[in-house]
Amino acid sequence: MDPTILLSLVVFVGAIAFVLFIGGLMKDMGTSKTEDRLAIMTGQKSAEDAATKKELLRETADGVHNSIGRWFAKIGDFPKLFEQAESPISMDKFFLISGVCLGLGAAIGIITRIPPAAIPIFAIFIGLCPLFWLLFRRRSRFKKFAKQLPDAMELVGRALRSGHSLASGLHVVVEEMPAPISTEFGKAYEEQNLGIPIEQALKNMLTRVPNLDLKFFVTAVAIQRQAGGDLAEILDKISYIIRERFKIMGQVAALTGEGRISGIVLMGLPIVLFFAVYYLNPDYVMLLFTEELGRKMIAFGIVMQILGAVCIKKIVNIKI
């Protein structure tokens, strides 16, 4: 593709993204959720706005009520992803930032004069960076939750031994422990305060945080509520098992560290060598794109890279 045409497309996409961003800001500045709620409560809006009232009273921190968010929500469970990652930005702003990064990646590829066939790949990679950040944020939050879970179970167990109810034990975790476990236990505590059975509230928390150790806790609570038993002792044993699993996982991580580093080097080395040779001798590398055999070699190399990454991941990823 002609670089001039590609640059024009990048500028066009960037202009549309900028206009949508400004329009979203003006819309947010023109009316606020508080003003809409007051208008509904005081009767300034007709009864035909009942759907709007229901929408306004619902928590919409992820912005799915907007048109862009609704469209992307049909593709995947993005609202759940944003909730699990506790994203500080709404869904619409997230996809707007992704579009801007996509155009920025194409512009950088043109400016740095990388091979024309690699410009779309580079642009897509830059455009996916916000998604990588969101997935990394969710993974980090899940890891922090898993490390806090044994302490939370012991805290609930001590609360039960001192005569508190299970709901009061959840509230103790909310008051005594930091986020993210205090946030999730706080949501479960508020749900049971609103009349939801505590077993269902804990299952909702398990849906938000799919953790195997948390599943043990939820299952133990459900069985104890139906059959009885010493829940405090059960929680102490579960917390002990979790701590032992963490010790074993640390040993496994130390033993498989060499394999993980080898995988990173083997995956990154061909890409680094490609760009190094391209800047030293571009005509030599362009044969991979202009010749039919070269394109087949690139496709074969990409497939082998993916297979190698999957195999290395299977080797170093030991389930405990």
pLDDT band for position 16 (cuts 50, 70, 90): low
Alpha helices in 112-230 (DSSP H): 119-127, 129-161, 166-176, 181-193, 198-208, 212-227
Residue 184 has pLDDT above 90, yes or no: yes
Residue 28 has pLDDT above 70, yes or no: no
pLDDT band for position 120 (cuts 50, 70, 90): confident
pLDDT band for position 182 (cuts 50, 70, 90): very high
What pLDDT, in 10s, does the model give residues 40-91? 444 455 444 444 444 443 444 344 444 444 544 444 577 888 888 888 888 8
Percentage of the residues of the chain whose pLDDT score is greater than 70:
76
pLDDT at 44: 52
Asked if 217 and 235 count as a contact pair (C-beta separation under 8 A), the reply is yes
Residue 6 has pLDDT above 90, yes or no: no
pLDDT at 283: 85
Range of lowest pLDDT (80-84, 112-116, 223-227, 268-272): 112-116
Residue 278 has pLDDT above 80, yes or no: yes
The pTM (predicted TM-score) of the whole model is 0.68
pLDDT at 60: 40
Residue type, 63: G
pLDDT band for position 268 (cuts 50, 70, 90): confident
Asked if 242 and 149 count as a contact pair (C-beta separation under 8 A), the reply is yes
The three-state secondary structure class of 20 is helix
For the residues 90-113, what does the mean pLDDT come to? 88
pLDDT at 47: 40
Residue type, 152: A
For the residues 214-242, what does the mean pLDDT come to? 89
pLDDT at 42: 46
> H or E element: which one contains 35?
helix 33-41
Residue type, 231: L
pLDDT at 255: 83
Residue 107 has pLDDT above 60, yes or no: yes
Domains recognised in the chain with CATH numbers:
3-127 (no CATH), 145-243 (1.20.81), 256-316 (no CATH)
Residue 185 has pLDDT above 90, yes or no: yes
Residue 34 has pLDDT above 60, yes or no: no
Asked if 166 and 160 count as a contact pair (C-beta separation under 8 A), the reply is yes
